[in-house]
């Protein structure tokens, strides 16, 4: 609320304040490894978050953003133990990315006003390289999403 005074708490970097109504709600998820194994939970989380945004009334603009890893290999860690993908029992991200994206679009995207998949490559192995699959396309799609959200905001909240 514009008139509310932000409350700072020891140990937290972001101040908090009163919330009158959600106008824009964004939920993000990242799928890096074992995507198909997690896909039902991730889709459920996305849908439940939209319901939460709308729970208090109003007409929030709901935005979903999901990062999908398309790397040729990935390693996760549990303490000192490493869990690299092998392409067989533990599929490489690129082997699951297209199916994960298809399921996200078919089961979650229509619950949001705006939904974007961010395709990237990350191995999670030192020196921890990261790259967008297509930086120019990603930038254009994300920029267009921001413009559409801005226009919708002006329409819904004059």
Give the containing element (helix H, strand E) for 118: strand 114-122
Question: What pLDDT score does 57 carry?
Answer: 79
CB 70 within 8 A of CB 123: no
- For helices 35-55 and 93-107, the axis angle rounded to 10 degrees is 30
89 CB-near residues (< 8 Å, 6+ apart): none
What does the alpha-carbon distance between residue 84 and residue 75 come to, in Å, rounded to a whole number? 4
Nearest to 62 by CA among 108, 20, 25, 23: 25
CB 115 within 8 A of CB 64: yes
Q: How many CB atoms neighbour CB 119 within 10 A?
A: 18
Question: What pLDDT score does 2 carry?
Answer: 64
Split the chain (158 residues) into runs of 10 and give each run's mean pLDDT.
76 73 92 97 98 89 98 96 95 98 98 98 97 98 98 94
């Amino acid at each position: 609320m514009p008139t509310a005074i932000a409350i700072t708490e020891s140990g937290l970097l972001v101040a908090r304040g009163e919330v009158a109504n959600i106008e824009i709600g964004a939920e993000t998820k990242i799928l890096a490894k074992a995507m198909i194994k997690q896909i039902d939970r991730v889709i459920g989380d996305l849908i439940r978050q939209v319901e939460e945004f709308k729970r208090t009334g109003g007409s929030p603009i709901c935005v979903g953003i999901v990062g999908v890893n398309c790397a040729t290999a990935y390693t996760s860690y549990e303490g000192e133990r490493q869990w690299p993908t092998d392409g067989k029992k533990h599929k490489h991200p690129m082997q699951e990315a297209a199916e994960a994206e298809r399921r996200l679009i078919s089961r979650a995207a229509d619950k949001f006003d705006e939904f974007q998949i961010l395709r990237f490559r990350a191995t999670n192995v030192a020196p921890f390289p990261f790259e967008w699959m297509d930086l120019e396309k990603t930038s254009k799609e994300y920029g267009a999403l921001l413009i559409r959200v801005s226009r919708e905001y002006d329409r819904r909240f004059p």
